[in-house]
């Protein structure tokens, strides 16, 4: 057992208590409260996208018949018709009945997925949806860059780069990025629009997943996580002591719950500020749906 470098939950608890004064002082926090603080620390560590708290992974989903039929019909089981009324400058106009469609095509992702980066496009050749036959463009471009006779004496790398940009523009216009939405609490990845998925086809999804400390025990030894969990437990300790006034400990020591609580809250604020400035990715760098 290593208190200095914890590798499991029990060692992590011992580390926290030691940092708070045990065994010299009795840390008045129940084991259940310790577990709650540790889980809260891990949740903040994972869901706020610490660079050590999440990692990229690629998941694949094979389309089944029900999923394909949903896309073909575009709407789910619910199509509602109702009269819509609008008021403009005090006058009410009856527009008439309209159809409201609610799409119900979603994939349930594993619970350790905290974000979705993109849905990879897998159809077509060279990313142009079959406009250019697969395998025919690359030799032509390489031959032109090398100055082959078939390509009229070749072209410069600048021209090659311009052609690549033009191809990327064609790819964006002919096959725009897939529209989707992911809810971390329901674990549902909803794909919007008729993407013509076929039964048996695979959908590749780039995700952000939280690594399991059971598989990677060195997560317990992360410095920021240890400090944050210790401050959470210290805050809980202070809250427990504030129920009493000037708690007298063996040996004549008096614990001040208000002081412990105030110090813990200041430490937590500093750690969250440090997290936002030093560890978390910018909000625009990660798309979570």
pLDDT at 196 over 90: no
10 vs 15: CA distance, rounded Å: 9
103 vs 67: CA distance, rounded Å: 12
Q: Which helix (H) or strand (E) holds 288?
A: none
Give me the pLDDT at residue 256, please.
83
The domain segmentation of the chain, as residue ranges, is 9-54+212-285, 55-121+177-209, 127-176
For residues 110 and 141, the model is more confident at: 110
248 vs 19: CA distance, rounded Å: 21
Give me the pLDDT at residue 257, please.
85
For residues 223 and 90, the model is more confident at: 223
What's the pLDDT band for 123 if we cut at 50, 70, 90? Answer: low
Give me the pLDDT at residue 146, please.
52
Burial of 237-275, coded b for 16+ CB within 10 Å and e otherwise, reads bbebbeeeeebeeeeeeebebeebbeebeebbeebeeeb
- Only one residue has tokens 């799409």, namely 103
Query: Average pLDDT of 189-199?
Result: 74
What's the pLDDT band for 46 if we cut at 50, 70, 90? Answer: very high
pLDDT at 137 over 80: no
pLDDT at 122 over 80: no
Give me the pLDDT at residue 236, please.
96
Share of the chain above pLDDT 70, in %: 68
- Residues 6 or more apart in contact with residue 216 via CB below 8 angstroms: none
What's the pLDDT band for 246 if we cut at 50, 70, 90? Answer: low
For residues 145 and 250, the model is more confident at: 250
C-alpha 100, offset from chain centre: 31
Question: Following CA atoms 141, 145, 147, 150 in sequence, which dihedral angle do they give, to the nearest 10 degrees?
Answer: 10
Whether omega before 23 lies within 30 degrees of 0, making that bond cis, reads: yes
Give me the pLDDT at residue 101, please.
53
What's the mean per-residue pLDDT of the chain? 77
264 vs 272: CA distance, rounded Å: 12
Query: Average pLDDT of 7-13?
Result: 96
Question: Following CA atoms 60, 61, 63, 66 in sequence, which dihedral angle do they give, to the nearest 10 degrees?
Answer: -170
Kindly report, residue by residue over 207-245, the tens digit of the pLDDT: 999 999 999 999 999 999 999 999 999 999 999 988 877
C-alpha dihedral sign at 139, 144, 147, 151? positive
Question: Following CA atoms 28, 31, 37, 38 in sequence, which dihedral angle do they give, to the nearest 10 degrees?
Answer: 130
């Amino acid at each position: 057992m290593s208190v200095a470098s914890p590798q499991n939950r029990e060692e992590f608890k011992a580390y926290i208590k030691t940092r708070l004064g045990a065994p010299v002082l009795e840390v008045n926090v129940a084991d259940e409260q310790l577990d709650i603080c540790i889980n809260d620390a891990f949740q903040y560590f994972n869901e706020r996208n610490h660079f050590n708290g999440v990692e990229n992974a690629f998941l694949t989903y094979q389309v089944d018949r029900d999923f394909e039929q949903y896309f073909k019909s575009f709407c789910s089981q619910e199509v509602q018709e109702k009269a819509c009324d609008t008021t403009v400058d005090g006058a009410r106009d009856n527009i008439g009945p309209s159809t409201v469609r609610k799409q119900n095509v979603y994939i349930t992702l594993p619970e350790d997925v905290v974000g979705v980066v993109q849905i990879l496009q897998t159809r077509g050749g060279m990313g142009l949806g079959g406009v250019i036959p697969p395998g025919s463009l690359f030799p032509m471009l390489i031959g032109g860059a090398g100055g082959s006779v078939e390509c009229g004496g070749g072209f410069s790398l600048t021209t090659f780069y311009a052609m690549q940009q033009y191809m990327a523009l064609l790819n964006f216009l002919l096959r725009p990025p897939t529209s989707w939405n992911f809810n971390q609490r329901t674990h549902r990845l909803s794909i919007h629009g008729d993407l013509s998925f076929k039964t048996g086809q695979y959908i590749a999804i780039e995700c952000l997943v939280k690594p399991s400390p059971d598989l990677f025990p060195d997560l317990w030894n992360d410095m920021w996580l240890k400090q944050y969990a210790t401050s959470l437990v210290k805050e809980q300790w202070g809250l427990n002591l504030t129920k009493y006034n000037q708690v007298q400990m063996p040996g004549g020591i008096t614990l001040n719950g208000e002081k412990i609580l105030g110090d813990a809250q200041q430490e937590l604020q500093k750690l969250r500020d440090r997290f936002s400035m030093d560890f978390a990715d910018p909000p625009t760098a990660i798309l979570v749906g």
